[in-house]
Amino acid sequence: MAIQLTFEEQNLFEEAKEFALKNIAPYSKDWENGDKSPREAFDLLGNNGYCGLLIPKELGGRGLNFLETALIYEGLAHGCGAIAFMLQLHNNISFEIATYYDTTEDVKKLVPDMVTGKKLTAFAFSESTSGSDAGAIKSYAELKEDDYHINGKKSWIANSLDADYFNVIVKNESPENRDMIMLLVDRDTKNFNIGKNKPRMGGNAISCCDIEFNDCIVPKNRLLSSKGFREALRAIDVARVFVPAIAMGIASRAIDMTVEYLGKRIAFNKPIICNQGVQWTLAELSAQVEAGKWLVYSTASLMDSGKSVAVKAAMNKVYSVELAMKVTTMCLQLFGANGYDKNSSISRYMAMAKMLQIIDGTSEIQKVVIGRSLERKVLPKKR
């Protein structure tokens, strides 16, 4: 199906890009170094209508579709990929809670503050020994009378220092049970402990900690879903639509910064951008990024149609993040020593591209998903 962006859709991207370059990019180093709080970024984004993008207008959101939302994340990533990622993570969780789950009245009362970004969310699924093997998680919750008692530990939980609510996926009743449930846990719940922030090579604007439950008691009315595994996989598919949009924003901005830098950098009596070899390198990268953008738009449009998106989302994820890594690496090379400076913008974009290769399913896992879909075309389904 051919895709042509409407004026309104293109304008969503342009507005987000302009907003990010003006209001986010100048402070991206401060967020990365911890000199500014991520809460400041959320206040800024929420006050300018970037929270609750997918949530219906009757619930206080903007009521956008997946394609429109992807265009906004692509634009925001021009200012800072980490801030764009942090936003889409929160928006995805609040969207799921507001629209997909058959939640209690107690949970529904919390949604308005999530929509506006006044209250932030985190997604607690991964564990130290069960990153890609999601079914191997050991954390569990036992229902005793009217409360769930949670025990276990989660690892690498993004937004964990800043989140007010945690969407927690655990085994039902015991670590050996295959069934999983999803619970909403307040950050100040007794026996719920948030560890120290983990310094990383990039993306440090996003807090990332281990969290631990030691007989943490959560009311039964905080159950989000009794089909936690299925719901988690759907949420991951949504991320595999939006993370690639961020990756393409990062790649596009890296090329723009490189062209600007090389237009001013004089070597052998002329700007480096005049070198044909440099032009060809950037031309090839630009063409590949353009192709990557349309894969993002196509995947988002497929999600909007309601059709199964898992395989195409995997293709979208692996292609976009690998390309972003390639683009930022080659652009940093063209910056020379100035690019290798830890405080340079291009080095932050490269480090963020590396993070995107790992989070929400590594590139290798995406290839497994795609490969198995090819296998099913010629071999009977395995029992």
> Tell me: the pLDDT tens digits for 83-121?
999 999 999 999 999 998 888 899 999 999 999 999 999
> Tell me: the pLDDT tens digits for 316-364?
999 999 999 999 999 999 999 999 999 999 999 999 999 999 998 899 9
**Which pTM was predicted?**
0.95
CATH 3.30.800.10 for domain 121-226, yes or no, is no
**Class of domain 7-116 as given by CATH:** mainly alpha
Give me 44's structure tokens.
Answer: 């800024």
> Tell me: the pLDDT tens digits for 150-162?
999 999 999 999 9
Under 8 Å between Cβ of 123 and 157: yes
What is the mean pLDDT of the segment spanning 192-201?
94
Phi, psi of 361 (to 5 degrees): 100, 115
The predicted structure's pLDDT at residue 3: 66
User: Which candidate, 284, 283, 313, places its Cα nearest to that of 298?
Assistant: 313
- Cα distances (Å, whole numbers) of residue 125 to 138, 352, 362: 10, 21, 15
* Bridge partner residues of 225 (DSSP): 182
CATH superfamily ID and name for 230-378: Butyryl-CoA Dehydrogenase, subunit A, domain 3 (1.20.140.10)
Domain boundaries defined on the chain:
7-116, 121-226, 230-378
Q: Is 253 exposed, middle or buried (0-12, 13-18, 19+ CB in 10 A)?
A: buried
> What percent of the chain shows pLDDT beyond 90?
84
Judged against a pLDDT cut of 70, whether residue 143 lies above it is answered with yes
> Tell me: the pLDDT tens digits for 45-71?
999 999 999 999 999 999 999 999 999
The secondary element (H helix, E strand) that includes residue 94 is: helix 81-99
Give me 137's structure tokens.
Answer: 């998680």
- Cα distances (Å, whole numbers) of residue 363 to 25, 174, 208, 226: 28, 31, 21, 29
Q: Residue 14, Cβ neighbours under 10 Å: how many?
A: 12
User: Which candidate, 203, 285, 290, 244, places its Cα nearest to that of 73?
Assistant: 244
User: Which candidate, 214, 175, 180, places its Cα nearest to that of 194?
Assistant: 214
Give me 328's structure tokens.
Answer: 């930022």
List CB contacts of 314: < 8 A, sequence separation 6 or more.
240, 361, 365, 366, 367, 369, 370
Q: Please name the amino acid found at residue 142.
A: E
Under 8 Å between Cβ of 105 and 120: no
Distance CA 370, CA 316 (A): 11
| Residue burial 351-367, b: 16+ Cβ < 10 Å; e: rest | bbbbbbbebbbbbebbe
